[in-house]
Structure 1
Amino acid sequence: MSGEILFLSHRIPFPPNRGDKIRSHHILRHLAALAPVHVATFADDLADMAAESELAALCASHCLVQRTKPLWRAGIKAVASGKPVSLTAFQSPQLSAYVRAVLASGRVDTIYAFSGQMGQYIPGTFAGRVLFDFVDVDSAKFEAYAETGKGPRRWIDAREGRLLAAEEARLAARSQVSLLVSNEEAALFRARLDPALQATCDVRALRNGIDSALFDPAACTPAPAMLQCPGPRLIFAGQMDYPPNVAAALRAAQQILPAIRAQLPQATLHIAGRNPPADLRALHGKNGVNVWGAVADIREWLVAADLALVPLTIARGVQNKVLEAMSMALPVVLTPAAATGIGGSDGATYAVGESDAALADRTIDLLSDPGFAAQLGQNARRFVVEGLSWDATLAPLAAMLGLGAAAARHAA
């Protein structure tokens, strides 16, 4: 066999400007250095479609399909077919035809699937190696949504969690290796399989890395708009149409910031990220809250901040927003959920708090002691520079894929 790879991804790995795309971007680049890669993927919008030339320059062939199916239509089809909404939303005859054609060439002996939505494109007849990157346990996330949801939304999320759990088990049984983003997430995934599958499935962690040369406080200048705001300045950054991020931003603005401002009246909170919903935008300019929406370069906003506040309640996998802040030598106050999978330790590389009061107190303590806050930030940067480069975290991939000899031929 020639050792070529088919890479299936639910979003085009360009540009690497959100958590899942950052991971898929670096994995795809790593795979392309090992062997020729064929890519089947989706675009969410025209900005994604504009990145097609970057994708084409990296891979041997590709198929990029823009998703246009409304979520409500995917939901109706999913209910009628008994499938998860997550799968029907990513069904494409065009992508299926491309996958069949690439596999029919006989050049591909490995499929790397990124995210559970893409398992539907792996033919049952494919006899090669399958490496499935679930990233995190999606079924558990929807179960958590259902626990706090109300009305029809609660039923929808509970149904999605149940059906995705069955799909995750099916795909784990189908794959040679199942990957999760942290040891904790891998343990959770394994524990949710029935005992027979636990005994036979190879479930491992493949951690996220960070480009510490790019995320370097010395490599960028602070965002002028943020510097015009009073300080100390706190930042929460992330994709702001993602429900856990929205909940965390609202928590920071409405529960935690008022307690901080009671002690430090000039403190301001800066929320940066694409597509903030109306209830979040409504807070802009009030009580020290600034909602900036999409920003051109998040590094400029991180370097302008005095502290990153990450009060996530639901946090699956490793949070890139935490790694980026740490790499920028920014002191980070976060929940235990947001710290999961990072490594490091409370008080040495970040500060942990569970309740609103604890998060506010840890933030006030750091802002009141600039010397210790600066040391915490430097410790955080040293931690990610020394142990969390992408080259280091992705080094096990070649052996997992059985590409040792193929990689040598490709490199030659």
Structure 2
Amino acid sequence: MAEMSDLLLLVHRIPYPPNKGDKIRSWQLLKHLAARYRVHLATFVDEPADWQYVAQVRKLCASCHVAALNPRQARLRSLRALLANRAMSLDYYADGATRAWVRRTMDDHPVGRIVVFSTPMAQYAQGWPAARCIVDLCDVDSEKWRQYAQQQAGPARLLYAYEAERLLRYERQVAAACDAALFVSAPEAALFQKLAPESAGHTGWYGNGVDTDYFTPATVYANPYASGERVLVFCGSMDYWPNGDAVQWFAREVLPLVRARQPAVRFCIVGARPTAEVQALGRLPGVSVTGTVPDVRPYVARAALSVAPLRVARGIQNKVLEAMAMGKAVIASPQALEGIDAVNGSEILCAAGATDWAQRILAALADDGGRMAIGMAARTRVVASYGWDARLAPLDALLEGPRRQAAALSAAGETARWNRA
């Protein structure tokens, strides 16, 4: 058996446990790469509870550097980027010890491949033009900040607009310097090709998958809800602004319309770290906020419907795919369905606007057979289209096939411009 080659993997957040969107993708990426390469991983822990998982991650790695990241200190540190005219996200993840470890690893091992997961980690991949570099930007983060700006007013609007502009500039520089820039869906890749036409030729995507053995309707769970409740469930990290915006809008604008016709309907918000605004929703009639739960699956399995009313969204929503894999009928906004290959009306339901949402929910609740048929079709779609091995196959070709021929890859000038972004 041939000896494995060395690969450097840079991930902005420890890729375990796979309990949120980016960790699901990065965990599957790590497992896939570790089966094929000697992986040297540099990553951060931004939640104290995640330190318990470092040993699990180390098992897959030839070497591993895990740095502590204090979110409050990182936010303060990121403000210095304003003075330097660069994206704040870079300073948020800037760490001298991590940079030194990467340098030693590149010096001590014959690393011929670098995989970067998320834009800010690209700052650690510069300076080794001989190594093939694949950057998984996941989403067009700059577009997310632009959308944030549109939803805000005052200083926050100006700050978010600043970050959108500077981060797009950096994304373009990173994409121009790497062998391939990858995204989570075809729409995200197409958007970036428009924003960064100079890198369109080596911009691509690989979609998220689902562990369909873990998320399955075959498992029977105890009911976490009260008897007689008809529950609409939303699952997601509740300190993530788009999720908070979604549940606040739904609880205040949609749920009252539904409960006016069906008073037994409840809206359950399931997810870690709910903000004060999200916790306050628990005081509204028919709304409950769980906070962290050991397993989201019982809440999805025992709900009448899964809802994803996001108004700001980038990339593929794992929460939608996971509910579909569990055979649950899902109603989602157009934004939440971006990049998901499912047939509206038979495999998933789409709603836009409070009145449309309320009507579709009430119709689905009144049709038990139709709701079950949609859930079964959703499960079939996910099993057929979203297995992780198939999803990650394009990455194998990029890591082992011919390298992109472009002067920017080896030009010192390009590396310098990347460094100054």
The residue number in structure 1 matching 2:224 is: 225
Supply the distance in 2 between the matched residues of 1:184 and 1:232 (Cα, whole angstroms): 35
Helix, strand or coil at the partner of 1:217: coil
The residue number in structure 1 matching 2:108 is: 105
Q: Deviations over 1:16-49 (max 9, x none)?
A: 1111000000011001111110100000122121
- Match of 1:180, as an amino acid? F
* Structure 1 contact 220–299 (Cα < 8 Å) conserved: no
Query: Where does 1:181-330 land on structure 2 (aligned, <5 Å)?
Result: 181-193=184-196, 195-198=197-200, 201-222=201-222, 224-226=223-225, 228=226, 230-330=228-328
The residue number in structure 1 matching 2:29 is: 27
Supply the distance in 1 between the matched residues of 2:218 and 2:199 (Cα, whole angstroms): 48
Matched, 1:53 2:52: no
Displacement of 1:134 in angstroms is 0.4
Q: Deviations over 1:110-148 (max 9, x none)?
A: 000000010110122331110000000000000011112
Matched, 1:92 2:92: no
Query: Where does 1:312-391 land on structure 2 (aligned, <5 Å)?
Result: 312-391=310-389
Cα distance change, pair 328–87 in 1 and its aligned pair in 2 (3 A): same
Give the length in aligned residue pairs: 399
Supply the distance in 2 between the matched residues of 1:383 and 1:72 (Cα, whole angstroms): 41
The residue number in structure 2 matching 1:394 is: 392
Q: Which shows bigger deviation, 159-168 or 47-56?
A: 47-56
Supply the distance in 1 between the matched residues of 2:165 and 2:346 (Cα, whole angstroms): 39
Helix, strand or coil at the partner of 2:306: strand
Helix, strand or coil at the partner of 1:41: strand
RMSD in angstroms over aligned alpha carbons?
1.5
* Structure 2 contact 344–350 (Cα < 8 Å) conserved: yes
- Match of 1:19, as an amino acid? G
Q: Deviations over 1:285-320 (max 9, x none)?
A: 531101111110011111110101111011100000
| TM-score normalised per structure 1 | 0.94
Displacement of 1:161 in angstroms is 0.3
* Structure 2 contact 26–117 (Cα < 8 Å) conserved: yes
**Which consecutive segments of 4 or more residues in structure 1 shift more than 6 A?**
none
- Match of 1:355, as an amino acid? G
Q: Which runs of 5+ in 1 are unaligned?
A: 405-412
Q: Deviations over 1:189-223 (max 9, x none)?
A: 11101x4333xx4011100000010001222413x
Displacement of 1:231 in angstroms is 2.3
* Structure 2 contact 224–302 (Cα < 8 Å) conserved: no
* Structure 2 contact 333–351 (Cα < 8 Å) conserved: yes
Q: Which shows bigger deviation, 345-354 or 75-84?
A: 75-84
Supply the distance in 2 between the matched residues of 1:121 and 1:129 (Cα, whole angstroms): 14
Query: Where does 1:66-215 land on structure 2 (aligned, <5 Å)?
Result: 66-68=68-70, 70-193=73-196, 195-198=197-200, 201-215=201-215
Supply the distance in 1 between the matched residues of 2:198 and 2:81 (Cα, whole angstroms): 29
Supply the distance in 1 between the matched residues of 2:114 and 2:245 (Cα, whole angstroms): 36
Supply the distance in 1 between the matched residues of 2:179 and 2:227 (Cα, whole angstroms): 52
* Structure 1 contact 252–309 (Cα < 8 Å) conserved: no
Supply the distance in 2 between the matched residues of 1:180 and 1:371 (Cα, whole angstroms): 37
* Structure 1 contact 2–109 (Cα < 8 Å) conserved: no
Cα distance change, pair 329–369 in 1 and its aligned pair in 2 (3 A): same
The residue number in structure 2 matching 1:62 is: 64
Q: Deviations over 1:346-393 (max 9, x none)?
A: 101110011111111111111000000000000000100111111111
Q: Which runs of 5+ in 2 are unaligned?
A: 403-421
Supply the distance in 1 between the matched residues of 2:29 and 2:54 (Cα, whole angstroms): 17
Displacement of 1:58 in angstroms is 0.8
Supply the distance in 2 between the matched residues of 1:88 and 1:255 (Cα, whole angstroms): 38
The residue number in structure 2 matching 1:408 is: none
Supply the distance in 2 between the matched residues of 1:101 and 1:286 (Cα, whole angstroms): 55
| TM-score normalised per structure 2 | 0.92
Cα distance change, pair 348–318 in 1 and its aligned pair in 2 (3 A): same
Supply the distance in 2 between the matched residues of 1:401 and 1:112 (Cα, whole angstroms): 9
Supply the distance in 1 between the matched residues of 2:120 and 2:264 (Cα, whole angstroms): 45
Supply the distance in 2 between the matched residues of 1:399 and 1:27 (Cα, whole angstroms): 14
Helix, strand or coil at the partner of 1:208: coil
